[in-house]
Amino acid sequence: MVNELSTVLLVEDNSDDEELTIRSFKRANLANPVEVARDGQEALDYLFGTESQAPRPSPGLVVLDLKLPRVDGLEVLQRIRADPRARRVPVVILTSSSEQRDVINSYDLGANSFVGKPIDFNEFAHAVAQLGIYWLMINRQCRHADNATKTTGEPASPTAGGET
C-alpha cells in the first residue's frame, strides 16, 4: 500500500503568518502538501464544495485561525464537527487570541488543540514545527476512507481499506 502524505489545510488570513507556518513545516522536514484558505468561507468551500465545485479530499489536519474574514474560525470549526465527512479531521486552533473564552469555545466545539501564536519569530516557528510533527507524524490519524462506517453504524471490516 502506498503511504500518501496527508494534506494540511491552513486557514489563515495573515500572509506573514501563512508564510512562516509553511516555512516552519518545511524546516521540520514535513513534506505534507499545504493548501491555504484565506478566510472561513474558502475553508468551508474546500472541505464541503460549492454548487459548481466538488469538495476536495479530507485533509489530514486543519490548522485554523479564529479571527477570519467572512466566516470566523469558531463557525468553521462548528461546521467541521457537524458534518460526518470531516468531523474526525484533527483541527488545531492557531491564533493570536489569548481570550479564555476563545479557548473554552474552541474546545467546546471540538478543537483537538489550541495554540497561541507566539509573538517572537523563533518561538512561533518552533511551536508550528512541534504541532506539525505531533499531528502529522506522531499522532495516529483516522483515515476517513479506510475507516468508513457502514449504514448499520458498525465499523467497516479491517480489510475494507486494503490493509490486513
In this structure, is residue 146 part of a structural domain? no
Query: How much is the pLDDT for 151?
Result: 35
Do residues 75 and 65 touch, judged by C-beta distance below 8 A?
Answer: no
Query: How much is the pLDDT for 137?
Result: 84
In this structure, is residue 109 part of a structural domain? yes
What nine digits make up the cell of 129?
A: 514545527
In this structure, is residue 34 part of a structural domain? yes
Q: How does residue 142 score in pLDDT terms, banded at 50, 70 and 90?
A: low
**146: Cα within 13 Å, side-chain hemisphere:** 13
pLDDT of 81 > 90? The answer is yes
In this structure, is residue 26 part of a structural domain? yes
In this structure, is residue 162 part of a structural domain? no
In this structure, is residue 49 part of a structural domain? yes
CATH code, 32: 3.40.50.2300
Number of domains in the chain: 1
Closest CA to 116 of 69, 66, 43: 66
Domain region containing 22: 8-138
Per-residue pLDDT, averaged over 82-101, amounts to: 94
Strand intervals (E) in the chain? 8-11, 34-37, 61-64, 91-95, 113-116
> What rounded mean pLDDT belongs to the chain?
84
